[in-house]
Amino acid sequence: LADAADGSRRMTELADGVVYSRSGLTYQVALLEKAGLAARSPSTDDDRGVTVTITQAGQDVLAQVFPGHIDILRQLFLQPLTRQDIDSLARVLTLVRDHMRSIPPRSAKPRRKSTTRHSPTGGGA
């Protein structure tokens, strides 16, 4: 949300972008909303859609924790790597991300109907 120009994204866009199930994202957004860090509202361009927006409190928390988070990532994750290692890692992770994004999320796939049938006498088929 912080990367969006207006601090908002549609729920489906968020779920697909982070390769997360819609139900899982709904739960996470509910926690952020309860903490006052994000707000949900009806989408302006789709009656069924929901938009999530980072609140000022969310921006404040992000500004407070993000620099320390980046420092820890640099120290624990990137420090032992050479520039060539980082470039290779970025290339590989980009391939993985693109592959994951090319597959519809589980929540977007149609559910299979049960094929289990029972006989009138109560036994299995």
Say if residues 105 and 16 touch (Cβ distance below 8 Å). yes
Q: Which helix (H) or strand (E) holds 51?
A: strand 50-54
Q: pLDDT tens digits, the chain, 125 residues: what are they?
A: 888 889 999 888 887 777 667 778 889 999 999 999 999 999 888 778 899 999 999 999 999 999 898 899 999 999 999 999 999 999 999 999 888 878 766 555 555 555 555 545 555 54
Q: How much is the pLDDT for 23?
A: 79
- Correct CATH for 8-103 of 3.40.35.10, 3.40.50.10600, 3.10.20.310, 1.10.10.10: 1.10.10.10
Q: What is the pTM of this model?
A: 0.64
Q: Could you tell me the residue ranges of all domains in the chain?
A: 8-103
Closest CA to 39 of 15, 7, 16: 7
40 beta partners = 52
Q: How much is the pLDDT for 93?
A: 93
Say if residues 12 and 49 touch (Cβ distance below 8 Å). yes
